[in-house]
Every structure is written in C-alpha cells, then in structure tokens.
Amino acid sequence: MADLYFPRTRDDDEISLISMREVIPSPIDYDDDDDEFDITDSSPSTPTMSKSQTLPHNLSNLGGSTGGGRGLAFWLVRTQKYSAYAFLSFVGIHGCTSALTPLLLGVDSGNSSLLLARTYFYQATPYTELLLIPGTLLLHLTSSVALRVYRHFAQRARYGGRAPLSLSTWRWRNFSAVSKTGWIAVPFLAAHAGLMRLVPLCVDGDSSQVGLEYLAHGFWQGRWGKWIGGVFYVGFVGVVSHHLVYGLASYWKIPPQRKRKLLGAATVGTAALWLGGLSRVVVQSGRVGGYLGRHYDHFYQVFFRRV
C-alpha cells in the first residue's frame, strides 16, 4: 500500500536500452552568437545544446577555449559566412551584366556591361578574379566540409565511438535543403566555368572573344542543343537561386517557417529574372555565323570532347 502513495524512485539499473536511445544529444557545441551555426545541417530532430552542456574533454579544446575564447568552430562558421558574402558580390555583378541588363536593355547593352565589369572589376588585376571567384568559392566549400567533419567527431565522442546512422552528418537525408542545393550546384558551376572561361583560356589564351553571343551559340548546336542547354540552365539557375535566397535567410536569421511564402517568391523571382535575361540573349543573338561562329563551334567541340 505504501507504494500507492509513495511510489519508489526508479533506479538507474532499471533504465532500458530503449529509453536510453530516446535521449538524443546535440550534434555540436556553439556559442550564443552562432545561431546561424552551420546552414549545411538540418538535423531537425536533434535539439541544440544548452549552455550547461559541453563537449567531451577530447573535443573541448577544438570547439572552444576556456575564458571566453573563440574556438575552431567559431572561425569556421565565420569563414563559411563571409566567403559566401564575397562570392555573392561576384554573383550579383554577373547576374546584372549577363541577365538583368540584357533583359531590360538588350544584348548589346549586356555585352557592354559585361566587358566593363570584366575589365574594371574582377579582372582589374591578375589575382582579383582568382581570389574573388574560385578562391572564395573554395573557401566556402572547404569550411562547410570542415564544419561537417567537426560535427562528425563531436557525435562520435558523445556516443562513445560511433553515432547512429540516423544522426550521421554524412547521410544525404540529414543534409538541409540549403546544403543539398549548394552541393548540387557545384557540378553545374564547374561545367559553366569550364565552358565560359577554361576552354577559351586553353584555346586562345584569354576570353577576349567570349561574350553573351558565345553562350547563346551553344543552344543552336545540333538538334538537341537548345533542349540540353535549356534543361541545364533551368536546373543551374533554380538550385543556385534556392541556395542563395535560403542561405541568406539562414545567415540573417529569418525563420523559413514564418517567411515560407516570401522566401519562395524571392527564389522564383530571382530565377525568373535570370532565365528571362538568358532567354532574350538566346533568342536575340541566335546562331553566330562567319569566322566567329566557326571559332565558337571549335570551343564547344573542345568542351564536349573533354567532358
């Protein structure tokens, strides 16, 4: 009868393995200032750590230092964030010159603005383009991978050697939508850069003859050129627009649940403007003839042979 009024406390040795599995520790430790901590991580089922929780001893010196110092995770987050801002400056200028200006003012104005930006901005000095475009992109990707590696070892430490597969930082299902679109955009970006910059650089030594007509010329290659080019650039622009809009929302701490319609409209609007400008370039320029057209044909032949 006493147990009815004074139920005995459950001993620790009576806790089942099932109840222990229900306790899911946080994947990472971060500061109060790091609310945007890793936009590549979704893990909605893993709660964030409270200030009283800490990493195990073998990771405590990696994630943060004593006395309010800044640890590795803090600097990786900042590197990921500000390298994205730096690369975004190029994306904004490139979008204005190659899409927005042709859409509003025509292909000739787009070529003039593209030449102006190329001459006075990211190709002004020999290393400006190298640092601004591949440099910042590589820094962003490297810091993103490093953050995921850090979280992987933090999980291993908490689970005593190996975390459950459902919480793995390398499982594709555990990647956020922002992270997925970012990694999907990488091969698109590599192919675009290879076609527009590397092939002219290898063949001619520079890209002085490359303009918006060169991009449009590819859509008229063979029977399937316009379909292949259309699918490629619709996918490319779509994933990049989603990654940019929702990535900035994460950095600016805009909750996607509350701003879902606004962010979706911004993504669709960005993609529509970009594809609208590209469509006008393709239609207005058409297939380039003469010597320049044959030279462009050679560029595309080199590209598809290498791919």
pLDDT tens-digit map of 31-88 = 433 433 444 444 443 433 433 344 444 444 444 443 445 788 889 999 999 999 999 9
Of 14-18, 69-73, 237-241, the one with minimum mean pLDDT is: 14-18
Of residues 195, 198, 274, the one with CA closest to residue 236? 274
Sign of CA dihedral 273, 276, 280, 281: positive
pLDDT mean across residues, the chain: 79
pTM of the predicted structure, to 2 decimals: 0.78
Residue 40: predicted pLDDT: 42
What value, to the nearest 5°, has the Cα angle with vertex 79 and ends 245 and 63?
115
Q: How many percent of the chain have pLDDT more than 90?
A: 48
Residue 238 is inside which H or E element, if any? helix 225-251
More confident residue, 60 or 271: 271
Phi, psi of 23 (to 5 degrees): -90, 110
**Is 219:229 a contact under the CB 8 Å cutoff?**
yes
Across the range 249-255, mean pLDDT stands at: 87
